[in-house]
Each structure stands twice: as C-alpha cells, then as structure tokens.
Amino acid sequence: MRYWCMYNPVSGRGAGAAVAGRIQTALQAAGFVVELLQTEPDLAVFRTRCHVIQPEDRIVVIGGDGTFRHVLNAAPANAGFAFFGMGTANVITIEFNLPRTVEAFTEMIIAGHSRTVYPGKTDDGTLFTMMYSFGLDAAVIRDVPQKLKNRIGKAAFAYALIRSLLTYNYPSVTLELDDGRRCPATWALITRFRHYGGAYTVAPEVDHGQRRLVVLAVPEKRRRTMLRLLWRTWRGTAAQDPGLKRFECSRVNLHVAQHKPPGQLDGDLFPVQVRSIEVADQAIELVVPAPV
C-alpha cells in the first residue's frame, strides 16, 4: 500500500509542493511508502497520471475544496482519502474539524480513523463532495478576478458580491424533487454538507453517511430577499428566513426556462448545464480525527 500526496501547486499562494514534501517526510518517518503527485488542470491528462494508483492505496489531497473534487473525479473512488486544506474557504476542513498543522494532520493519518461520505453526482457523471448551487453566489465566483483572489483571498469576494448584487438579473429554474414536488428558484443550494462558504452552518440536518440531499431554494426574484438571506447566513440564522424553502430528497431535476443561470460546484464555477443532481452509489472513506 502506498500513500499518494496529491498537491495543487498554486494552493496556499504556491506553497502546496512544500507542504506536500513535509507531509511526505513525516509519513515516511512513520514507516509509510509515500509518493508525490502534482495535480493537472486537464482532467483527462490527470486521470491518465492516476492510473498508477491501486485500489488499496491511500490519497492525501493537499489544496482547496476544488482540488479535492478534481482528485475525486480522477482517482479510484475506492481508495481512501485525506484532505489538508490550503484553499480559500477549506469547507471540508471545517465540516470535519480536520487538523490545520502538518504535525497534527500526519498524526491523524497514522491513527487511521475514517468516516463514510457519499459524494453527490451531476447528470454528466461529475462527482462532488460538498454542493452545487446556481444563482447569485455562482455569479460572485464568476466575477471574482483570479489575480485579486490570489492576492487578498476571501476579501476579493466582497468586491464581486457588490458588483453582482447590482447587476445580476435572477433567472429562474424549476426544481423537481424525486417525490414530484416542484419549486421555482432564482437561487438554490443542493448540498451534502452542513457548512457553506466557510464556517456558515446552513444545513445542520445533513448526515454524510446517508444518501440524501438537502435543498435550499429562494423562489423570489428580489435583491432584498438575497440581501436578507446573506445577512442571516452571516449571523447563523438563515434557517429562520421566511423566503427560504427547505427540502430533502435523493435526486432533484433542474428545468431551465430561458436563460441558464451560472452554477458552481464545490466552490468553483461549473460551466456545464446541470439537469439533475443525485447522491452517488459509491461512498468514499475520508480520514478524520478520532471521536473524543
């Protein structure tokens, strides 16, 4: 069995390779066989690189939440995973209370405790760990200048948020749940995670080991509704917002009437037209801290 430290070279303002090397050294000192593998933006090329990984191997992902999704779609799904967050939001780190130092992280891997997590899946077969959403938040991600994001991190999103609030026109999508319920939405979050955008808890009812989706939807086409929801999300009271609809299901279809709204998957802009979301059949094992 080998451990593969897969790192995004641009994560952590270019520190991904150095951190991967430190993790490799620490795991080798504990007696593990460890290889380094740099991620590749081209998914087809990256999948070819991942052919060397065996089902019994373990994968350590070093990067942001989007890096984890990229690896998940390239590597064998039955390999065990660990995640060291070096991105902008690191929602996976927050969701599972993962260590933030190399020393504590390698101790967690050596301890070997894991949790079963079912990813989500789009209709084109793309797996995701956290969530898909369309609407204003995806417009913000679309409008963030990458150079500004690399330089100032989360603060770059404030600039894009102000711009999107002034210009976004809120096209509507009809959500159709697997039990036949339908709901129009100008914004929707279809999630497998409790947290959103960092440490904001929006779906506390999520159970990672169950094959269920939580759907949050805003039917109204008004800026003040989204402003109120953003304020309540920041305050941790989004669940009380009267304009927010909540559902649970195992599959949801998305019917676009005219204009396709922007969409995001695990914090990265996702340009593909998504027609349905479901929970994947195969779970992954994610290394997490042992319960206290």
Q: Are residues 97 and 152 in the same domain?
A: no
- Please answer whether residues 200 and 216 qualify as being in contact, where contact means their C-beta atoms are separated by less than 8 angstroms: no
Measured distance between the N- and C-terminal CA atoms of the chain, rounded to whole angstroms: 28
Task: Identify whether 179 is part of a domain.
Answer: yes
Supply the DSSP symbol for 41: S
152 band by pLDDT with thresholds 50, 70 and 90: low
Asked if residue 277 has pLDDT above 70, the reply is: yes
Mean pLDDT, the chain, integer: 91
The structural domain count of the chain equals: 2
Same domain, 166 and 250: yes
- State which of 77, 112, 147 marks the end of a domain: 112
Within this chain, do residues 72 and 136 fall inside the same structural domain, yes or no?
no
Same domain? 133 vs 272: yes
Instruction: Let me know whether 104 and 132 are in one domain.
Output: no
Tokens at 277, concatenated: 């979301």
Q: Let me know if residue 203 belongs to a domain.
A: yes
The domain that contains 193 carries what CATH number?
A: 2.60.200.40
pTM equals 0.91
What domain range is 152 assigned to? Answer: 127-279
Residue 13 lies in a domain: yes
Per-residue pLDDT reduced to its tens digit, 5-39: 999 998 888 899 999 999 999 999 999 999 999 99
Q: Which residue has the tokens 């008004």?
A: 222
Is 46 domain-assigned? Answer: yes
Alpha-carbon distances, residue 177 vs 28, 74, 197, 213 (angstroms): 48, 29, 24, 10
Give 148's pLDDT tier (boundaries 50, 70, 90). Answer: low
What's the pLDDT band for 207 if we cut at 50, 70, 90? very high
For 40, half-sphere exposure in the C-beta direction (CA atoms, 13 angstrom radius) is 13
Q: Do 155 and 266 belong to one domain? A: yes
